[in-house]
Structure 1
Amino acid sequence: MDNDFLTIALPKGKLLIDSIQLLSRVGIECSHVNEDSRKLFFDLPESNAKIIICRPTDIPTYVEYGAADLGFVGKDTLLEENKDVAELLDLKFGYCRFVVAMLEASVPPKLPSGEYDLTGLNHQRVATKFPRVTESFFSRIGMQVTPIKLHGNMELAPCVGLSEMIVDIVSTGKTLRENHLVEVAPILEATTRLIANRVAYRMKYERIRDLVQSLRECLQREVRV
């Protein structure tokens, strides 16, 4: 094993550009990497590294099994996939929120604290791409629900009677409003994280440590600016 060589998994889609730009700013020049070329991996001999492009939901699996040493992945995916990887750094981009939402006509009353009273929704159905996160949240507040896993268009489920609620990630909330849905409970905030294979983290510790430090310093400089 070359302890200086790194294979880094980056996500297809909206997080890819920010991931490439951040790596390039810390000396891993990969501005030519893009998913439009249909290539799935890119050798970076000058950086002693390789980039592989994966579906976001697959990145924790590639990293857990050692096909990639490192990965950039949203905290939402990391929580839902629940893989045995090391989370090293919050990369600060790709911000979104997990929320519980319902149709405007069905929202429960509010408590004196201003929060919605969800207790009347016990044992109801929740449409979501994130059943693990959903069950964990409702369990923490002492409720049981029935997650219904969908792969997209969560907003449709309450409109056609498939579920009483949805759990989804939002950034601005515009899509909820357009579909007459109201956020009734926040769950957590999520950003992109740097994760590592646990064996690679030990075997390639110095190279990974140096990269993490460079990324951290880059992010701190951007905050100060």
Structure 2
Amino acid sequence: MTAPTERADAARNRLRILDAARRLLAADGFAELSLDAVAKEAGVGVGTVYRRFHNRAGLVYALIEDNEVGFQEGFARRCADGSAPSAADRLRAFLHGMVELVDTNRELLLLAEASAPAGRYRSAPFRRHHEQVVGMVAELAPGVDAAYLADLLLMAYTPGLFDHQRSERGWDVDRVKRGLDVLIAGIEAVGAADPDRPR
């Protein structure tokens, strides 16, 4: 059974609302974003915004989801062109790309985290990321608890922690990537040491 197609007017309203939110964010910053202000800027009823996004976190995650599309397309291209041939290469490319994605969306992610602290784990991007990392970890080291390791790897992108590392500790994104590389190497070593691992 296919998912229902979004009505044309609903799709137009969604784009108007997201564009309005981006304009307000650019003009007034993240702290001032409200659904009432977005509705007024978009020229739609506030009920339309609430029905579509439910709360500010839902709106912010919709903005993040739009940026996620570009990340996923770039990752798919790297896998397709052979520049990331092994599971370790794909996992490294994915996690490094995530560092860039989170750094670019840091303020949006912090806003979403403040609005709904556990909302990240129920968001479509997080579920997608978790599923992808589970698949790559399971391929890299069959027999490990891939779901748990995926959770640990994705904890590196917790908005508050990531922002603390970048803003308070002054770490650059390369340092974060090097740390993730160590974790990938550890998982790869476990997989290589498994005598039952397919050769």
Same fold (TM over 0.5): no
Q: Which has the higher strand share?
A: 1
The TM-score with structure 1 as length reference comes to 0.27
Higher normalized contact order (CA 8 Å, seq sep 6+, divided by chain length): 1
The answer to which structure has the higher helix fraction is 2
Q: Normalised by the size of structure 2, how large is the TM-score? A: 0.30
